[in-house]
């Protein structure tokens, strides 16, 4: 006979997060959630107090991308609506974050009083979050609270998207249904449909002259990287990634082609992919950035397109097939191993001979960073030159690459580095962020300091919003100049470096690598009209749409 559950609602929520691998919760307290914060303090999860709610959201997003599930906890409306942007980004890019918000107590809501933080109605915040979460619940009924917690977490894990849990403050210490027992349910594919889809896909692959795999972000989210590698090696089919899915395969691997992004990317990769008679799209987001502002020429009539939400072989759609089951089925299918073929390989960026007094260029910066990467590096990029310049970095086998390459919210990188390092303490973040984005969330570096983390932060100081200048320039692209390298003086810890020349850059990277007890911040001064080739191609095309 199973023992009865005696936990309170707050305690059960903590237990279930812990059972699913969560060890840290990011957020900022407020009076509506203080009782739950006290339960967190006494429980097995560490609370990470960030400087701002949006920072908590970005940190939880990155934590989920690395570890599989993230969690944040904020107060009602003033906290919840501040974190909404970050949760929306997690939804857009399929990152399973549980967003927990405190709320006025159930009894406090009688006669609809004007309580502080309230916007319109008591359910206004929930209605907002319903637009960018896959499941939501208000824990206002002790009999169903445990079930609702498990439902939201299960949906987030299944669909790799955020879930929302609202916890009225007078329900935190209320005992839940003592007879409830959690049940781990796993959605299953329709076996007959799966079999037919695999047969159709195998026939197409085996008949193809030049098949190619494009692997994207869902391969990351569902933990299918090893399955992808085994599939490529078994069938002798090369793999390209998208910008959003970069690092889905180690870029030193002989089966790796490079990043495919239509006319935005390398021409040899574009030609190889677009001349294929069987493009196997695995977990791919067909977004404007992934497709090089829609310069990609992919014919779905010559494609197998598999995601967690859709499966089609040519134009034949298949319903009720899980993405994981389809990929595992492909690995077991009778695919002919084709003869060794020649395909393009990504050229490694090589730094030219040091010109000690030469100013640092964008191209030179990324060439040097490419040599700086180590197997324990996790590259965390913000939007703009930081992201597009990093597209050509040569990611090692163990290196991760995180960046908001679809939702493209500025301010992601610094707080995301906190989540990434807490999710995997063996990795050291290399943060690439522009001066404009750093001014939004960069002071979360104080959070990294508080919790003993040691990211290396590279601020690409090109004096404003450099991505937008080539599209349409004006004073609206300027930002107030900061002395970013002096941030350690403000915080009383960390190391700061100002880089003007190539020798400055080499010296700063070497010193930052050795300084492991706290963060390093390297401010690199760049000409505002100097851009990476990838960004030039992107902004030229985006500029035509303005």
* Mean pLDDT computed over 79-84: 96
Q: Is 6 helix (H, G, I), strand (E, B) or coil?
A: coil
Q: Which CATH class is domain 362-543?
A: alpha beta
Crossing angle for the helix pair 53-67 and 413-423, nearest 10 degrees?
Answer: 40
Express each pLDDT in 328-337 by its tens digit. 999 999 998 8
pLDDT higher than 50, residue 493: yes
For residue range 416-460, list pLDDT tens digits in order: 999 999 999 999 999 999 999 999 999 999 999 999 999 999 999
What are the extents of the domains in the chain? 9-168, 191-332, 362-543
pLDDT at 399 over 70: no
Over residues 221-253, the pLDDT tens digits come to 999 999 999 999 999 999 998 888 888 888 778
Q: How many CA atoms lie within 13 A of 272 on its CB side?
A: 25
333 CB-near residues (< 8 Å, 6+ apart):
198, 201, 202
Say how far apart CA 441 and CA 459 lie, in whole Å: 12
Rounded CA separation 458/438 (Å)? 10
- Average pLDDT score over residue span 181-202: 90
Q: Retrieve residue 493's tokens.
A: 């810890």
How many Cα atoms occupy the beta-carbon half-sphere of 506 within 13 Å? 13
If pLDDT is split at 50, 70 and 90, which confidence band does 156 have?
very high
Q: CA quadruple 85, 80, 454, 249: dihedral positive or negative? A: negative
CA 204 to chain centre: 32
Fold of the CATH domain 191-332: Rossmann fold (3.40.50)
Tell me if residue 68 falls in helix, strand or coil: coil
What is the average pLDDT across 30-51? Answer: 96
Structure confidence by residue, pLDDT tens digits, 87-132: 999 999 999 999 999 999 988 888 778 787 878 888 999 999 999 9
**Same CATH fold, 362-543 and 191-332?**
yes
Residues whose CB is less than 8 angstroms from the CB of residue 226 and which lie 6 or more positions away in sequence, other chains included: none
pLDDT at 528 over 70: yes
SS3 for 260-323 is CECECCCHHHHHHHHCCCEEEEECCCCCCCCCCCCCCCCCHHHEEEECCCCEEECCEECCCCCH
Q: Give the H or E element holding residue 83.
A: helix 80-92
Residue 182, judged by CB atoms within 10 A of its CB (0-12, 13-18, 19+), counts as middle
What percent of the chain clears pLDDT 90, i.e. is strictly above it?
Answer: 68
pLDDT of res. 4: 58
What phi-psi label fits residue 408: left (phi over 0), alpha (psi between -120 and 50 degrees) or beta?
Answer: left
CB of 97 closer than 8 Å to CB of 90: yes
pLDDT at 297 over 80: no
Among 210, 217, 389, 380, CA closest to 286? 217
pLDDT reported for residue 2: 46
Q: Does the structure show a pLDDT above 90 at 503?
A: yes
Q: What confidence score (pLDDT) does residue 348 get?
A: 66
Q: Average per-residue pLDDT in the chain?
A: 90
Pair 56, 411: CB distance under 8 Å: no
Lowest-pLDDT range of 7-16, 172-181, 327-336, 400-409: 400-409
Phi and psi at residue 232, to the nearest 5°:
-65, -45
Cβ count near 317 (within 10 Å): 12
Eight-class DSSP state of 175: B
- The pLDDT of residue 268: 85
Q: Give the separation between CA 470 and CA 225, rounded to whole angstroms.
A: 37
pTM for this predicted structure? 0.92
Q: Give me the mean pLDDT over the 268-276 stretch.
A: 88
Least confident window among 10-24, 385-399, 510-524: 385-399
Reply yes or no on whether the pLDDT at 56 is more than 80: yes
pLDDT confidence tier of residue 356, bands split at 50, 70 and 90: confident
Q: Is the pLDDT of residue 142 over 80?
A: yes
Question: Tell me, what DSSP letter sits at residue 213?
Answer: E
The angle that helices 225-235 and 323-332 make with each other, rounded to 10 degrees, is: 30
| Cβ-based neighbours of 244, under 8 Å, separated by 6 or more | 93, 216, 217, 285, 287, 289, 290, 403, 405, 406
Integer Cα distance of 156 and 96 in angstroms: 5
CA distance 162 to 89: 10
Beta bridge partners of 26: 48, 72
Q: How far apart are CA 70 and CA 20, in angstroms?
A: 10
Residue 434 contacts residue 408 (beta carbons within 8 Å): no
Rounded-to-integer distance, Cα 200 and Cα 196, Å: 6
Residue 294 has pLDDT above 70, yes or no: no
CB of 344 closer than 8 Å to CB of 255: no
Pairing of strands 400-402, 428-434: unpaired
Q: Which CATH architecture has domain 9-168?
A: 3-Layer(aba) Sandwich (3.40)
In 3D space, the residue among 543, 545, 537, 540 whose CA is nearest the CA of residue 243 turns out to be 537
The predicted structure's pLDDT at residue 1: 35
Indicate the angle between helix axes 80-92 and 53-67, nearest 10 degrees. Answer: 30
Please check the confidence at residue 347 and state whether its pLDDT lies above 80: no
């Amino acid at each position: 006979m199973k023992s009865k559950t005696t936990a309170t609602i707050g305690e059960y929520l903590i237990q279930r997060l812990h059972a699913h691998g969560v060890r840290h919760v990011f957020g900022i307290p407020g009076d509506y959630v203080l009782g739950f914060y006290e339960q967190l303090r006494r429980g097995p999860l560490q609370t990470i107090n960030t400087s701002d709610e949006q920072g908590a959201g970005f940190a939880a997003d990155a934590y989920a991308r690395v570890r599989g599930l993230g969690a944040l906890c904020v107060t009602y409306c003033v906290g919840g609506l501040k974190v909404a942007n970050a949760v929306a980004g997690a939804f857009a890019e399929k990152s399973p974050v549980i967003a927990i918000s405190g709320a006025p107590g159930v009894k406090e809501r009688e006669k609809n009083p004007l309580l502080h933080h309230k916007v319109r109605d008591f359910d206004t915040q929930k209605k907002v979050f319903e637009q960018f979460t896959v499941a939501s619940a208000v824990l206002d009924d002790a009999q169903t609270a445990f079930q609702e917690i498990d439902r939201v977490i299960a949906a987030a894990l299944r669909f790799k998207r955020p879930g929302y849990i609202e916890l009225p403050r007078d329900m935190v210490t209320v005992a839940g249904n003592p007879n409830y027992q959690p049940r781990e349910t796993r959605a299953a594919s329709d076996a007959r449909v799966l079999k037919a889809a695999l047969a159709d896909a195998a026939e197409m692959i085996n008949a193809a002259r030049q098949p190619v795999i494009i692997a994207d972000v869902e391969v990351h989210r569902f933990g299918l990287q090893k399955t992808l590698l085994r599939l490529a090696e078994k069938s002798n089919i090369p793999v390209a990634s998208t910008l959003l899915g970069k690092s889905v395969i180690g870029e030193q691997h002989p089966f790796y082609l490079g990043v495919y992004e239509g006319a935005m990317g390398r021409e040899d990769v574009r030609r190889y992919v677009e001349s294929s008679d069987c493009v196997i799209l695995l977990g791919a987001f067909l977004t404007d950035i992934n497709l090089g502002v829609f310069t990609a020429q992919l014919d779905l009539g010559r494609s197998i397109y598999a995601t967690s939400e859709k499966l089609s072989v040519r134009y034949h759609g298949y319903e009720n097939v899980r993405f994981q089951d389809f990929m595992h089925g492909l690995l077991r299918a009778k695919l002919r191993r084709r003869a060794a073929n020649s395909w393009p390989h990504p050229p490694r960026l090589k730094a030219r001979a040091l010109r000690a007094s030469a100013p640092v260029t964008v191209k030179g910066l990324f060439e040097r960073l490419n040599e700086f990467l180590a197997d324990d590096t996790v590259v965390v990029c913000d939007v703009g030159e930081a992201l597009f310049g990093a597209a050509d970095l040569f990611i090692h086998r163990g290196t991760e690459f995180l960046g908001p390459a679809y939702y493209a919210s500025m301010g992601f990188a610094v707080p995301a580095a906190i989540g990434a390092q807490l999710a995997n303490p063996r990795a050291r973040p290399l943060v690439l962020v522009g001066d404009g984005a750093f001014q939004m969330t960069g002071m979360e570096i104080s959070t990294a300091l508080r919790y003993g983390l040691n990211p290396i932060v590279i601020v690409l100081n090109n004096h404003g919003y450099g991505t937008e200048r080539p599209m349409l320039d004006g004073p609206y692209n300027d930002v107030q100049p900061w002395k970013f390298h002096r941030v350690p003086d403000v915080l009383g810890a960390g190391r700061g470096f100002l880089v003007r020349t190539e020798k400055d850059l080499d010296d700063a990277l070497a010193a930052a690598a050795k300084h492991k007890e706290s963060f390093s911040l390297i401010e690199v001064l760049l000409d505002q009209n100097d851009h990476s080739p990838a960004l030039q191609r992107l902004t030229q095309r985006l500029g035509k749409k303005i």
